[in-house]
Structure 1
Amino acid sequence: MSNLNAYVYLIVAVILGTASNAFAKSAQGFTILIPSILTAITIVGCMFTLSLVMKSISVGVTYASFAGLCIIATSVVGVLKFNQIPNFTTIIGLLLIITGVLIVNLLGNTE
């Protein structure tokens, strides 16, 4: 698999991971059936696509990229869907996460 395909799968994993986080919030401690089922399905899909990414990109870079991007995407969902506005300090932290993901992917060793 080419690195381009791996990064496409990584984006799919981030989307599924972010969706699972949103569904988990809506499941209210897994007490509501449909969001609970959707959480499980999206987590399994997320892990499957991450396993495909790891065929081409090292596990450390894959997971660092996935975690960072998923944190950012989940924060955006929190703002848009749940009206959870981050404070200034949180925004600085999120910017540092973005910086870290960029450094790992652009300057780090991906072998």
Structure 2
Amino acid sequence: MSLATSYGFLILAVVLGVTSNSFAKSAEGFTLLFPSFITGITIVACMYALSMVMKNIPMGITYASFAGLTIISTVIVGVIRFNQIPNFYSVVGLILIIAGVLIVNLLGNK
């Protein structure tokens, strides 16, 4: 598997992670069947995609990238779908997460 394919799986894992987080919120503590089912399916698919990424990219870099990108994407979904606006300090923290993901991916393999 090429490095580009691994990053494709990473993007897929992020999308699946954000989907599972979004449906977990909608599941209301896993009391609603459909969102609970979608949450479970997307978490399993997300872990599969991450395992594919780890074939070529070290585990630490994979998970740091996945976690950071999923956090940022989930916040964006929270703003759009649930009208959850982050405060100033949250935005500063999110900027630091983005910087961390960039540093890990651009300089972490050297």
**Count of residue correspondences:** 110
Q: Which residue of structure 2 aligns with residue 58 of structure 1?
A: 58
Distance in 2 (CA, whole Å) between partners of 1:75 and 1:10 is: 18
Structure 2 residues without counterparts, runs of 5 or longer: none
TM-score by length of 1: 0.98
Name segments (4+ residues, structure 1) moved above 4 Å. none
Q: In the aligned structure 1, how far is the partner of 2:95 from the partner of 2:65?
A: 14
Question: What is the Cα-based RMSD across aligned positions, in Å?
Answer: 0.8
Q: CA deviation at 1:109?
A: 1.7
CA distance in 2 between counterparts of 1:98 and 1:3 reads 21
1: CA distance between counterparts of 2:95 and 2:46?
Answer: 24
Match of 1:12 in 2: 12
C-alpha displacement at 1:2, in angstroms?
1.1
Residue aligned with 2:56, SS: coil
| Structure 1 unaligned spans of 5+ | none
Q: TM-score, with normalisation over the residues of structure 2? A: 0.98
User: Match of 2:49?
Assistant: 49
| SS at 2:48 equivalent | helix
Q: 2:21 aligns to what?
A: 21
Task: Provide the C-alpha distance between the structure 2 equivalents of 1:55 and 1:93, rounded to a whole number of angstroms.
Answer: 30
Distance (Å, rounded) in 1 between the aligned partners of 2:31 and 2:54: 34
